[in-house]
């Protein structure tokens, strides 16, 4: 990198949103930019703060967030985003002004890169006369669906009767109305959040944790109404160092269990950091996994009131499955998906999990729960065809059939092959001269140009 000497004193400020699926890609972006010679400041909320000891090369700047228990209670995401944007602007402005005031000659904060949820950062950048960039940790396909909600409302397509939810959405093939993210709050709140986080504003560029060849059509829609620099740099976890970005303690014991399983035999089950299964669903899942005959690795997250995940599962289950199943509270997911023994992923289809699965050629059973997951699930199953959507009630027999259908039976052959093909394309995009590799270099040059 010819400019690395010059970049040594250029500080890039990152403002991640305090959710697992947003913090990880932001830290990975920081890692890649650091490897290109930039110095990294991570300005983070106190709530869900990242662990500085995993990234000794970064400077961590805690920002007072004043969040209440109500703001941070599960299932209240739009309210959480609103409070953060209301409470954090002044503390971030003051902290950065202080750092900039202390800087020595030649040492400079050059720009702010903020998660799309942390849109208050734009006002801070403008106040401090810094350029800023909008970082997106969601799929472009989801962002496009989100962006189209006001049009669908104006044209009378939504709200929609339950009986018509299977209809295709005009202009958004292959999405159906049931896949649309209209259920994450009142329509009014959804539209307000979309306008503030997704619509074109005063940033100099959009950085997207996605891959061109997967989402070219959706990405192109964000170059209007005004042309904007767009860098698709994903999947970032394939280019960053493997340092932990986890907010929870990772149980690595499952890797030695995986080492003992046959290649491509294990179904990995995880529904991310936000979604939960009800007790009845846990029971059906347990017996479905047991009767599938496949070895399984299952992430069962417990509330603080429960000290063992086994207590949440049905009586007799542990004895029935013996060594065939491994259950953990939180897995090293990227390592798990990259392990030879894993042949399928029962997933909620969060965007990080999707990219992590696609990158390793692991086909998916899509069981989306909330937010962007239904859009991602539809793309996984109907556009990229690397997964099968589970749309029944969560019932043991249907679970067994879905797992065997994906992993063992002939009906899953095309899906398994498509997953391998997409993995190859993703590997190509992150290797030298691939689209994401080139885009990251372009981004580094773009940031360097701010100092001129
Ligand atoms: N993850 C993990 N261990 C687990 C489950 C999930 O490390 O046991 C990570 C996973 O690798 C992914 C992130 O948590 O990077 C979840 O992000 P995603 O966007 O998939 O879903 P969300 O949690 O936002 O719903």
Question: pLDDT per residue over 92-110, tens digit each?
Answer: 999 999 999 887 756 799 9
Choose between 105 and 48: higher pLDDT: 48
Model confidence at 44, pLDDT cuts 50, 70, 90, reads: very high
What's the 61 CA to ligand 1 centre distance in angstroms? 24
**Does the structure show a pLDDT above 60 at 306?**
no
Asked if residue 209 has its Cβ within 6 Å of ligand 1, the reply is no
**Does the structure show a pLDDT above 50 at 2?**
no
Which atom of ligand 1 lies closest to the CA of 354?
20
Asked if residue 139 has its Cβ within 6 Å of ligand 1, the reply is no
Model confidence at 142, pLDDT cuts 50, 70, 90, reads: very high
**Does the structure show a pLDDT above 90 at 291?**
yes
Dump pLDDT digits (tens) for 423-442.
999 999 999 999 999 999 99
Which atom of ligand 1 lies closest to the CA of 349?
20
3-class SS letters over the chain: CCCHHHHCCEEEEEECCCCHHHHHHHHHHHHHHHHCCCEEEEEEECCCCCCHHHCCCCEEEEECCCCCHHHHCCCCHHHHHHHHHHHCHHHHHHHHHHHHHHCCCCCEEEEEEEECCCCHHHHHHHHCCCCEEEEECCCHHHHHHHHCHHHHHHCCCCCCCHHHCCCECCCCCCCEHHHCCCCCCCHHHHHHHHHHHCCCCCCCEEEECCCHHHHHHHHHHHHCCCCCEEEECCCHHHCCCCCCCCCCCCCCHHHHHHHCCCCCCEEEEECCCCCCCCHHHHHHHHHHHHHHCCCEEEECCCCCCCCCHHHHCCCCHHHHHHHHEEEECCCCHHHHHHCCCEEEEEECCCHHHHHHHHHCCCCEEECCCCCCHHHHHHHHHHCCCCEEECCCCCCHHHHHHHHHHHHCCHHHHHHHHHHHHHHHHHHHHHCCCCHHHHHHHHHHHHHHHCCC
What's the 276 CA to ligand 1 centre distance in angstroms? 13
- Per-residue confidence (pLDDT) for residue 198, from 0 to 100: 74
Q: Is 0.90 surpassed by the pTM of this model?
A: yes
What's the 268 CA to ligand 1 centre distance in angstroms? 13
- Per-residue confidence (pLDDT) for residue 202, from 0 to 100: 82
Asked if residue 376 has its Cβ within 6 Å of ligand 1, the reply is no
What's the 226 CA to ligand 1 centre distance in angstroms? 34
**Does the structure show a pLDDT above 90 at 185?**
no
Which atom of ligand 1 lies closest to the CA of 328?
8
Tell me what the pLDDT averaged over the chain comes to. 92
Best probe residue, ligand 1, of 348, 353, 368, 373 (max atoms within 8 Å of C-beta): 353
State mean pLDDT over 119-133: 95
Model confidence at 307, pLDDT cuts 50, 70, 90, reads: low
- Per-residue confidence (pLDDT) for residue 353, from 0 to 100: 98
Asked if residue 429 has its Cβ within 6 Å of ligand 1, the reply is no
What's the 246 CA to ligand 1 centre distance in angstroms? 9
User: Do the first three CATH levels of 9-244+430-450 and 252-428 match, i.e. the same topology?
Assistant: yes
Residue nearest to atom 2 of ligand 1 (CA): 333
Q: Which of the four CATH numbers 2.170.150.70, 3.40.50.2000, 1.10.1060.10, 3.75.10.10 does domain 9-244+430-450 have?
A: 3.40.50.2000
ipTM over 0.95: yes
Residue nearest to atom 15 of ligand 1 (CA): 352
Asked if residue 360 has its Cβ within 6 Å of ligand 1, the reply is no
**Does the structure show a pLDDT above 70 at 328?**
yes
Choose between 22 and 194: higher pLDDT: 22
Best probe residue, ligand 1, of 16, 20, 22, 236 (max atoms within 8 Å of C-beta): 20
Dump pLDDT digits (tens) for 330-381.
999 999 999 999 999 999 999 999 999 999 999 999 999 988 999 999 999 9
What's the 21 CA to ligand 1 centre distance in angstroms? 6
Return the domain boundaries, the chain: 9-244+430-450, 252-428
Reported CATH class of domain 252-428:
alpha beta
């Amino acid at each position: 990198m010819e400019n690395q000497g010059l970049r040594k004193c250029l500080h890039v400020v990152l403002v991640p949103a305090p959710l697992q699926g947003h913090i990880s890609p932001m830290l990975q972006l920081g890692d890649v930019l650091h490897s290109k010679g930039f110095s990294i400041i991570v300005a983070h909320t106190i709530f869900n703060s990242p662990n500085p000891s995993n990234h000794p090369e970064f400077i961590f700047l805690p920002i007072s967030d004043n969040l209440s228990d109500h703001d941070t209670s599960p299932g209240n995401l739009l309210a959480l985003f609103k409070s953060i944007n209301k409470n954090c602007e002044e503390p971030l402005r003051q902290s950065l002004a202080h750092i900039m005031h202390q800087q020595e000659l030649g040492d400079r904060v050059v720009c702010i890169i903020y998660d799309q949820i942390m849109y208050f950062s734009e006002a801070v950048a403008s106040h401090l006369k810094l350029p800023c960039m909008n970082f997106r940790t969601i799929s472009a396909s989801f962002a496009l669906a989100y962006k189209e909600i006001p049009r669908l409302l104006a044209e009378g397509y939504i709200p929609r009767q339950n009986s018509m939810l299977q209809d295709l959405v005009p202009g958004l093939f292959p999405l159906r109305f049931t896949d649309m993210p209209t259920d994450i709050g009142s329509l009014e709140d959804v539209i307000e959040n979309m306008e503030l986080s997704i619509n074109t504003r005063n940033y100099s560029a959009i950085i997207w944790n996605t891959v061109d060849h997967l989402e070219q059509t959706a990405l192109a829609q964000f170059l209007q109404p005004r042309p904007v620099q767009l860098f698709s740099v994903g999947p970032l976890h394939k280019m960053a160092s493997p340092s932990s970005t986890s907010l929870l303690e990772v149980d690595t014991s499952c890797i030695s269990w995986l080492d003992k399983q046959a290649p491509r035999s294990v179904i990995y089950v995880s529904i991310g950091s936000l979604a939960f299964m009800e007790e009845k669903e846990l029971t059906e899942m347990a017996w479905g996994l047991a009767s599938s005959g496949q070895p399984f690795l299952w992430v069962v997250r417990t509330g603080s009131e429960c000290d063992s995940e086994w207590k949440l599962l049905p009586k007799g289950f542990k004895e029935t499955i013996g060594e065939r199943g491994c259950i953990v509270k939180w897995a090293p997911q990227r390592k798990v998906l990259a392990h030879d023994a894993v042949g399928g992923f029962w997933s909620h289809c969060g965007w990080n999990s999707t990219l992590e699965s696609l990158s390793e050629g692991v086909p998916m059973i899509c069981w989306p729960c909330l937010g962007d997951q239904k859009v991602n699930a539809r793309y996984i199953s109907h556009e990229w065809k690397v997964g099968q959507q589970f749309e029944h009630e969560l019932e043991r027999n249907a679970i067994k059939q879905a797992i065997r259908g994906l992993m063992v039976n002939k009906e899953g052959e095309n899906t398994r092959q498509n997953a391998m093909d997409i993995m190859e394309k993703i590997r190509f995009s992150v290797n030298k001269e691939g689209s994401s590799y080139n885009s990251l270099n372009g981004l580094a040059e773009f940031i360097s140009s701010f100092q001129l």
